[in-house]
């Protein structure tokens, strides 16, 4: 396995526990994205659907009842620890039309031209080789089949993602990489025209692009910070490698104070409403 992909996989194996703890909150926050994605993909009864980078089960869990028992959902992900979450949902929801498998989107071990629809929610940005992954997805689709993906929009539209990295930059010893395709990060596909160019280059046509505005809501800035604090020191440790525990403990209250200042700009009637924007893009083979 390519070293960059192995690193992404390791990151998600490690991230999985944290992801699962925040899963309900994330699901609530991003619900409109799943709805747009399934609509653009043309999900309906009786089709064969391949959910790529399904993580702990989105959009697989919403797609399975729509596809029904006359169809089939295959959900795949690179990280076993993320798939374990999907497996729990398959068992709890008795989703008998779902099969799960661990595989990366750059090497899909599925029969060519065997799926009507491939959705991928917030997964493509982590591919070190996006065109290879798109080529594999295209091969998996029947002629006229549809691929639909959700990615995060440009940084300026996503304070939800940019506030903390901006605060931490002054404590970093090395500048973080610029988000662009091939550099795995949530915002890698968010630049103007990036998703359109990638889909067109990969051979998809009849593109449909939809921007989906979102709001990450919390009771108040203080409740958000209290929530962040639970795993804050671990986040600082991850983002600021090489810092000693004593240094991190000293940085922590300064980060909290900066966070409070930044977040106060997004308070409406006492509640925190942090804007975000996703792009849903779909195309045909």
> What tokens does 148 get?
């639909």
Q: Which of 185, 196, 171 is nearest to 253 (CA)?
A: 171
Q: Which residues bind ligand SAM (CB under 6 A)?
A: 5, 8, 12, 53-55, 58, 77-79, 82, 104-106, 121-123, 126-127
Entry field: residues in the chain:
285
Closest CB to ligand SAM among residues 83, 194: 83
Which residue of this chain has its Cβ atom nearest to ligand SAM in the complex? 55
Smallest gap from Cβ 243 to ligand SAM, in A, equals 26
Give dist(CA 185, CA 154) in Å, integer. 12
Contacts of 24 (CB under 8 A, 6+ apart): none
Query: Smallest distance, Å, CB 246 to ligand SAM?
Result: 33
Please identify, using beta-carbon distances, which residue of 52 and 263 lies nearer to ligand SAM: 52
Rank residues 47 and 50 by Cβ distance to ligand SAM and give the closer one.
Answer: 50
CB of 129 to ligand SAM, least distance (A): 8
- Smallest separation (angstroms) from ligand SAM to the CB of 26: 7
- 96: exposed, middle or buried (C-beta count within 10 Å: 0-12, 13-18, 19+)? exposed
Looking at the Cβ atoms of 76 and 225, the one nearer to ligand SAM is 76
Query: What is the bridge-based pairing of β-strands 72-77 and 48-52?
Result: parallel
Q: Output the smallest distance, CB 148 to ligand SAM, in A.
A: 12
- Nearest alpha carbon to residue 282 among 116, 102, 90: 116
Q: How far is the CB of 121 from ligand SAM (least distance, A)?
A: 4
CA nearest neighbour of 89 among 69, 65, 60, 66: 60
Q: Please tell me the chain's helix, strand, coil percentages from 3-state DSSP, rounded to the nearest 5.
A: 50, 25, 30
CB of 213 to ligand SAM, least distance (A): 17
Q: Between residues 79 and 140, which has the closer beta carbon with respect to ligand SAM? A: 79
CA distance 3 to 15: 18
Closer residue to ligand SAM in complex, CB, 18/166: 18
Looking at the Cβ atoms of 255 and 281, the one nearer to ligand SAM is 281
Report the alpha-carbon distance of residue 197 to residue 72 in Å, rounded: 30
Nearer to ligand SAM, 58 or 277 (CB): 58
Question: Minimal distance in Å, beta carbon 30 to ligand SAM?
Answer: 7
**Calpha distance 7→206 (Å, rounded):** 34
Two tokens, residue 13: 């194996």
Whole-Å CA distances, 59 to 25, 79, 197, 201 = 15, 16, 24, 25
């Amino acid at each position: 396995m390519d070293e960059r992909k192995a690193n992404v996989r390791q990151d998600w194996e490690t991230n999985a526990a944290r992801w699962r703890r925040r899963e309900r909150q994330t699901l609530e926050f991003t619900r409109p994205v799943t709805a747009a994605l399934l609509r653009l993909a043309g999900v309906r009864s009786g089709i064969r659907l391949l959910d790529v980078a399904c993580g702990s089960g989105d959009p697989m869990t919403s797609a399975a009842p729509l596809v029904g028992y006359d169809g089939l959902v295959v959900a795949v992900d690179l990280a076993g620890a993320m798939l374990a979450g999907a497996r729990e949902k398959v068992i709890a929801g008795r989703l008998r039309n779902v099969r799960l498998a661990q595989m990366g989107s750059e090497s899909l071990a599925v029969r060519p031209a065997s799926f009507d629809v491939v959705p991928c929610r917030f997964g493509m940005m982590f591919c070190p080789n996006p065109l290879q992954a798109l080529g594999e997805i295209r091969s998996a689709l029947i002629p006229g089949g549809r691929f639909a993906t959700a990615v995060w929009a440009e940084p300026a539209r996503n304070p939800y993602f940019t506030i903390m990295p901006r605060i931490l930059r002054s404590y970093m010893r090395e500048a973080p990489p610029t988000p662009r395709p091939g550099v795995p990060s949530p915002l890698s596909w968010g630049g103007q025209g990036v998703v359109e160019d990638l889909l067109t280059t990969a051979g998809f046509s009849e593109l449909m692009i939809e921007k989906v505005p979102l709001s990450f809501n919390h009771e108040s800035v203080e409740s958000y910070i209290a929530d962040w604090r639970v795993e804050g020191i671990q986040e600082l440790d991850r983002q600021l490698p090489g810092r000693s525990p004593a240094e991190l403990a000293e940085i922590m209250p300064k980060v909290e104070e900066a966070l409070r200042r930044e977040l106060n700009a997004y308070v409406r009637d006492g509640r925190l409403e942090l804007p975000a924007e996703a792009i849903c893009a779909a195309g045909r083979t």
